[in-house]
A and B are shown apart, each in its own frame.
Chain A
Amino acid sequence: MKRTQLNISVIIFTIFALRLICSCKKFLELPPPDNQVNSTLVFANDATAESAINGIYSEMNNTADLFSDGRTTLMAGLAADELYSYHPGVEDEFYTNSISLVNHDNLTRWFWSPAYKFIYTTNLAIEELQLATNLSVDVRKRLIAECKFLRAFSYFHLINLFGDVPLTLSSKYELNATLPRESADVVYAQINKDLREAEADLPESYVNGLRSRVNKFAAAALLAKIYLYRKDWSHAEKEASIVIGSGIYQLETDLDAVFLSTSVESIWQLSTVQLSVNTWEGNQILPASDLAEPTYLLRPEALNDFEAGDHRKGSWVAGRTFGGDSIYYPYKYKVFGNYAPITEDYVVLRLADQFLIRAEARAEQNDLVGSLQDLNVVRTRAGLPEYSTASQTDLLNMVYHERRIELLAEWGNRWYDLKRTNLANTILGTLKPDSWKSSAQLWPIPQNEINQNTALTQNPGY
């Protein structure tokens, strides 16, 4: 009796256990969570593939403190002769051009890490798009071209801030993790290639009609700038001419309209993503009220560089008194935020810059008449008298001056211009005699990055 009972129970248990073992593989199979999709599925149809690329733009303008949403303006503005911060803080190291380890993590957070994050996404997307078979031909071609543009754009800023940087062109993180710094020439060659391919493949019209995703002319505009930086004057002129001659863009006659979402001058602008603000840059610089403590202010030198009668001083600079002092700050963006209706987008590339690029390229090629014409287009809009004649050297200096004013506190243009025209030592050396060193033209490679990848080397002077 007992034995039978025992046998039965053993049999029951064995059956149960066997049943369990057979079904266990199945038991562990899980569907992915609702809010995650893997790469293959993302690039399986046009709509999600569009979303993936849309996501890069979204991330570029999603949070404060990225190179792509205001940090370049602010930190390069402090490093050059544009801005100072009212309240003492660690950012003073940028102002005094003596960045120490204290700021290395900031450099990673603001510049290095987001730029490479966008580069990774474009690399991955290009790979997946090239393999994708279910996408329509046009969409696929355009998305690859957009990725190439965005990759070039990120490298352009990395190179100008840090000098030589690692050039990653695939999504293979094991490979990318150990890449050493590549010379700026090689990176520029890649930027150039990407932009030329983008220019060829991008349509002239904007996706969805808004100027917030790049088109052919955005590629041409960035290409013009890169040729200018590389001193390839003829190509710079050619690309700028493509943009200027496109007929799509005009200088806004009203200076107050240049940075509005509706600006016809804008070649590429980042749409607002977080609706609590209009632009992060405006939100960072503008005071919440007259009583609020100031943040980033214009240096007196920058103010003094405005010619008398320049309308831009009235439209793009604002002042108030605080604690008994008169203070001035950039006023290109005029909306602080606080859920105000969205009227401003963040302008990345605009037509005035193209006129000045062409003016400089023409002056360098001794086309003084052509150069003056372009320069005067910008001056006229600012309410200033036209220049009539000038020597090549004077004309170049006039273009540099115009760039300083027109592009004041805008995307680090001044910092980049001072460096590429070899004026940084002269101008900043005079302005900051105690702290300026020539080596400060390149910011340090963040120490933690060197720790993670021992193939990286530090810039001189750090």
Chain B
Amino acid sequence: MKLFTLFSIILTLQVSAEGYGQSIQLHLTNAPLEKAFREIKKQSGYSFIYTRAQIKRANPVSCALSNATLSEALTACFQNQQLSFVIEDKYVVVQNRPDEKVEQSQPLEVDVSGKIVGEKNQPIQGVSITVKGKGKGTSTNEAGEFLLQSIPSNSILIISSVGYLTQELAIGKNSFMMIRMEIEVGNLEETVIKGYYSTSRKLNTGSVVKISSTEISKQPVSNPIAALEGRVSGLFITQGTGLPGSNFSVLLRGKNSIQNGNSPLYIIDGVPFLSDADRLTQFNGTNTGNPFNSINPDDIQSIEILKDADATAIYGSRGANGVILITTKSGKAGKTKVDLKMYTGWGKISRSYHLMNTPQYVEMRKEAFKNDNVEPDNSNAYDLLVWDTTHYTDWKKELIGNNAHSNNVQLRISGGSAGTNFTLGANYYKETTVYPTNDIYDRRIVVSLGLNHQSADEKFKMSVSGSLANDKNNLIQTDLIQYILIPPNTPETFDVNGKLLFSKDGFTFSNPYAAMLQTYSVNTNRLNTSASISYQFVRQLGVKLNLGYNSVQADELGLLPIASQNPDYSPLGGSNFASRELKSWIVEPQLEYKVNAGSKGHFNALLGGTLQATTSSSFALTAYGFSNDAQLKDISALPPTNIYNTKSNSQYKYLGFYARLNFDWAEKYLLNFTGRRDGSSRFAPENQFANFGAIGVGWIFSKESFLKRGPFSFGKLRASFGITGNDRIGDYQYMDSWMSGSPYQGLPALRPTKLYNADFGWEAIRKTELAMELGFWKSRLFFNLNAFSNVSDNQLIRYNLPAQTGFNYVLRNFPGKVQNRGLEFEVSADLIKSSGLNWNTRLNLTISQNKLVSFPGLETSSYASDFVVGKSLNAIQGYKFEGVNAETGVYQFADLNKDGSITPREGNNWNDYIYLGTTEPAYYGGWENNLSYKGWSFSFLFQFVNQKGRDAIYGNSSPSGYMLNAPQQVLNRWQSSGDLKPYQRYSQEYGEVYTAQYMVSQSDAAITNASYIRLKTMSLSYMVDEKKLKALGLESFRFFFQCQNPFVITSYKELDPENQSFYSLPPLRMFTIGFQMTL
């Protein structure tokens, strides 16, 4: 790592040295022309020849040029003059323009065209050019050219583009303007959205990471959350399953709450979105209906991750676990554009068990019987005695070894004028999986619209965005990976007529193909809308109103056809129907006041309020007893007694008032205060309200005169402290309640469902952060170092109760303190920047730790055996493994308390338990590289995680020897007295070997190194030369090849180190190819 940093610094130094003195820097505001001449002479060595008369007639010069050539600098100087120039040798000769006209008093309407280029003279596309105060504008085409017709000749143009410094230029007499854009220094001027307000990266006092659409679009993922994996420090994302439309677990700066929502707050265009923790589904399928499935990553302009108190406190009670803000794309002034993107892809499973073949399996079974001294008979060994012991099916290959396919089509139309613009997008996405069928898939259709309008005087602004999505997640009820362990000599699963078989000679077996008939689908319809209206009364004062409405409706259908069940049991068919609807609206008025304090101070105040209401209603119906599979979806075919249904509804209301006061002095000293008072209906009336707030300070020390030298270009120290809260506890939790049970004697029945405890209050998290940002060589090399500590207290938890109370838990405030602290380190460097090759690299690293700091009364609480003060909340405890006993062939464990038996921890009495560690990552991060050369661009991201995980063999509680296949690794087992082997003997009974396997899964042997480095994404694209496209009428054309998870380096055995699951599909390795074109 050190070497790499050094290397990048050296590289950057060299590149920068080359750049010095080669070109002209010219920054002038209304300067005399002569001054410009002096500057150019000093930098270029060219002298000027002119007369005093000419200079008298000259207009003042304003320009901002960096690395300009001589002729560009001169063009800029003479742009607004009635003079022109010629270059002769090392002299610039100033001439009068030939056909001079007398200036008119009334401005003329003129047409202005121009070309906008970057530092390397490359044309920049999509730059917005607006006529100041006229509500008129356009944007540049792919050649960087623009045309504005019939505008007053005294107009001033505002030229802006993301990533570049905004310029204001007078058009003067020019009909053609050559404009050079200057890159924003390290994107310090880049806008950072912090919820209700935005600021620049430079002046930000909080911890915010921004991921742009460019980074998202490089990854062949269907879920925007997946696109964040490995890219953001402090954000730890894991994929639970490789099924299409799968769920992700998202933790921002660790686990603050023991049980309640630990997922961040998601906001889309200002409106809270369902979180990944909000279950949309009521039945258990292989997926729980991830709400993000219905979001098209291509609709996203940027994702901002808000981490510290300063950034999140304005969300008050909801910001405890951080906030993820998603901003969707909006239109741009200019020519109407049509953008089409298509790709297709293939996926395979990355890692899974290496299982035994039939001879190995048969040997295992026979040895198990021999070891147990049991004679195999029909009841316990029909796989050996009845079935063919030479038959072999590689179930892994058969069931999960196939290719998954994905297809994506994305169409977007955008355009408009400076006053009004729009974007309209449509997306179709379909992904199948690695099962032996194409009927199992996730399919999404999204239509999105964005509209912006502003009045000519720019005082009134409004924007509307909306998206309508349908996601059909067509899966089955059990992940087929669970069937790969069926005996490899399982008889034929189909008869000669293609009918499913369930038994051979009376002995049943699991037929995975039958499981494939038990479908489970979730059909989600989502509508997201938001609107924002603002009016700027005067320069200092503006009002704004944000409105939003979301609705999500999910319909589930699970089928249990007769055909999928063993006919020997005279089965009947069944079906499950469920529907859940969530509707949420939000109204947020807001007032903003800005004023200058003295010559250098800026003061900004924001006041606002939030009213939010969410209603949820759900309905579930289970029907069983169909005698014909054709009727499964027709519940009227059944008598009412065969139908069970439940219906529930809930409401959540929330309100808050917030204020933000911000002050900066000379853009050097920064102070930001945010406060919020929140009320939530989730608490009993006496505990509904609470106050939250934060203070953030910053000092841009690079602005101090004593530091302005050398390559050092930017330095900021910032600190923040504040309190945020959490109310993710579900609705009505404080109420005790009785709910309907199944009728008894045909009469209604009630059952108690919750204990009463109105005495709980808000969960509070105190966040502290200290950070430093450093930029070198105009921020080509940029460091960001954050140190944070979050302490959560007064936690609301489902306090476990012993079953003797009649309940498993009661919701209550928890006296213990949990701390998450860590260091986040980010570095970005433009290693190579030239007209040809460009190389940008970024590294992020997070070192974090979770700790239960204190827990008064732990010994007497129901958590006495679950936690260890001073260790992580995820602390694992268990037995101390002592290998396989060479005589008995059974795992043995240390009898630490020497009482003659191996016993687990009981409260403070650890018996034979020891502390084994934690599965939380010690550190994690990502290393991203973007290279481009001419039309080619190549980027890749390595993700690395240092963690412990469950061992694939020891961590599994099912031992080898049963009528189940086993990983080949266990071939290395104990066989006879004296053997020293890692794995115990085979056994097929539920005796000491079984118990020992259960115990080993609760021992230190079950915890192993699960660290990994994964090439997470790789993308290669080629942009076809625009000249060749002209003839075809295309503006741009790009081919790309992308892959996700191409390989992983890990010492973790058998399974995937990310999902570590024996029972669910690992993340897939996906390859996609596609193109993108603009008309």
Contacts and interface: CB of A to CB of B under 8 A. Distances in A.
B741 A55 contact: yes
Interface in B796-811: 800-808, 810
Contacts of A112: 803-804
Chain A contact patch, size range: 35 or more
A191 to B, nearest CB: 16
Given A55-B744, A62-B741, A451 B865 contact: yes
Contacts of B647: 34-35
A152 B220 CA distance: 63
Given A13-B543, A177-B801, A120 B806 contact: yes
B719 to A, nearest CB: 31
B787 interface: no
A190 to B, nearest CB: 15
A12 B73 CA distance: 53
B744 A101 contact: no
Interface stretch (A252-260, A288-296, A364-372, A374-382): A288-296
A454 B649 contact: no
B748 interface: yes
A59 B742 CA distance: 8
Interface stretch (A16-24, A65-73, A236-244, A411-419): A16-24
Interface range on chain B (Cβ under 8 Å from partner)? 35 or more
A276 B625 contact: yes
Contacts of B862: 177, 451-453
Interface stretch (A320-328, A347-355, A391-399): A320-328
Given A55-B750, A288-B568, A9 B804 contact: no
Nearest to B905: A451
Interface string A52-96: 101111110110000000000000000000000011111111001
B988 A212 contact: no
B803 A42 contact: no
Interface stretch (A223-231, A267-275, A424-432): A267-275
B735 A48 contact: no
A20 B681 contact: no
Contacts of B568: 288-289, 291-292
Interface stretch (B524-532, B629-637, B993-1001): B993-1001
B649 to A, nearest CB: 5
A39 interface: yes
A37 B738 contact: yes
B990 A89 contact: yes
A451 B864 contact: yes
A338 interface: yes
Interface in A1-47: 2, 5-6, 9-10, 13, 16-17, 20-21, 24-25, 27-39, 42
Contacts of B752: 39, 120-121, 124
Given A55-B750, A101-B904, A273 B744 contact: yes
Given A42-B738, A50-B747, A116-B803, A33 B649 contact: yes
Contact of B745 (A39, A54, A451): A54
Contact of B990 (A20, A93, A212, A322): A93
A95 to B, nearest CB: 9
Nearest to B654: A28
B679 A51 contact: no
Interface in A165-185: 165-166, 168, 173, 176-179
Contacts of A210: 745
Interface string A187-204: 000000000000000000
A288 B503 CA distance: 14
Contact of A293 (B386, B508, B653, B681): B508
A28 B743 CA distance: 34
Interface string B1022-1043: 0000000000000000000000
Q: Which of B380, B743, B803, B860 has the most CB of A within 10 A?
A: B803
B740 interface: yes
Contact of A34 (B378, B641, B649): B649
B541 interface: yes
Nearest to B642: A339
A453 B738 contact: no
Contacts of B648: 33-35
B642 A275 contact: yes
B720 to A, nearest CB: 27
Contacts of B655: 20, 24, 27-28
Given A450-B907, A454-B859, 15 more contacts: A27-B653, A28-B681, A29-B681, A38-B756, A55-B751, A92-B991, A96-B991, A102-B995, A121-B752, A292-B508, A292-B568, A451-B862, A451-B864, A454-B907, A458-B906
Interface of B: 378-380, 382, 386, 503, 505-508, 537-538, 540-541, 543, 566, 568-572, 589, 591, 607, 609, 611, 624-625, 641-642, 646-651, 653-655, 657, 679-681, 685, 688, 731-732, 735-745, 747-753, 755-756, 800-808, 810, 859-860, 862, 864-866, 904-908, 962, 988-991, 994-995, 998-999
10 contacts: A28-B679, A30-B681, A51-B749, A88-B988, A102-B995, A173-B806, A173-B810, A339-B642, A449-B804, A450-B906
Q: Top 9 nearest A-B pairs by Cβ distance? A: A120-B806, A288-B569, A291-B568, A323-B378, A451-B865, A454-B907, A58-B744, A452-B802, A55-B749
